[in-house]
A and B are shown apart, each in its own frame.
Chain A
Amino acid sequence: MPRAVFALAFVLLASLAHAIDPLPFANEAEERRFQALAQELRCLVCQNQNIADSDAGLAKDLRKEVFEMMRAGKSDDEIKQFLTERYGDFVLYRPPFKASTFVLWVGPLLILVAGFAIARGMMLRGGPHPDLPGPIDDKVDR
């Protein structure tokens, strides 16, 4: 019985993983490569979806374009470059690390470090708060 449930879960998950329009993949490796690539590319019509998941007309066209570029022997980087030349870095879910995206990549880390520094400073400087009871004197109980 658990095995049947497991199998059913797999079937359901597999149906989610497939693109909306079937493309004529030659083999599984090619399909996996396509899926990995399509999941990295943002659909510009519905911006919170990647082109693998989106049902928008443009996403469908882009999937076809990506597939045909793969067939033409283009590398993943060449395909991404083709799309960024036309749509900008925004089309990539993982934007490249460069001057204009510096704050995007490093900002959160800087804020975290600053937070730690402030917290540390407050802990070291402040000592016990005047309203709090002082340190427990453990000699009393012994």
Chain B
Amino acid sequence: MRYLIPLLLFLGLGVLLYAGLGKDTRRVPSPLIDKPAATFDLPELRNPAQRVVSKQFAGKPWLLNVWGSWCVACQEEHPVLLDYAKSKQIPLVGLNWKDDDATALRWLATLGDPYDAVAVDAEGRVAIDFGVYGAPETFLIDANGVIRFKQIGPLTPEVIASEITPRLAAMGVQ
């Protein structure tokens, strides 16, 4: 009995610290899940005369992928995006975040271009509205313009299979 309380306290502390061990503190849960996505009207990277307007994607689900040619993890993610784009499941929209247009274009020319549209967010204003704090980040936005899922860090085939495909299926997209 005498040692029971210290032992319990020690075990409690141990459990608490152990639970913290595997956690990635860089992943901050977004308060924007299940909230309407911010709207934007930005120039199209591949054709500056054109605009990419968030409204044009309303009515069906779409993916918004935040990337930059300066971002190493984006390069790692790129083959996954190229592969996903082949499925033509839903539109894949790029948000080119704080990048240089010429470098970004060269990046797409070299590595391939998976995007249905690429919006240029040179000042990072739209990224702030989406609560972006690192690239890559990917948002799944439903037909009503509500953010349903956010991937922080590169998309992987596993994340697509476990997080995106089931949500799309629930929305009626096969």
Contact = CB atoms under 8 A, between A and B. Distances in A.
Interface of A: 44-45, 47, 57-58, 61-62, 65, 84-88, 90, 118
A47 B129 contact: no
B134 A45 contact: yes
Closest 8 CB pairs of A and B: A44-B133, A86-B131, A88-B31, A61-B124, A90-B28, A87-B131, A57-B98, A58-B133
A44 B131 CA distance: 10
B31 A61 contact: no
B40 to A, nearest CB: 14
Interface of B: 5, 25-26, 28-32, 98, 123-125, 127-134
Interface of B is mostly: loop
A87 B130 contact: no
Most buried by A among B5, B25, B31, B32: B31
Contacts of B28: 44, 87-88, 90
B100 to A, nearest CB: 13
B16 to A, nearest CB: 10
Majority SS at the chain A contact face: helix
A65 B31 contact: no
A99 B124 CA distance: 33
A88 B5 CA distance: 37
B130 A47 contact: no
A57 B124 CA distance: 9
A44 B130 CA distance: 14
A125 to B, nearest CB: 10
Nearest to B30: A88
Contacts of A62: 128
A47 B27 CA distance: 11
A90 B129 CA distance: 16
A58 B26 CA distance: 15
Contacts of B133: 44-45, 58, 87
B124 A58 contact: yes
Nearest to A84: B31
Given A57-B124, A61-B124, A86 B29 contact: no
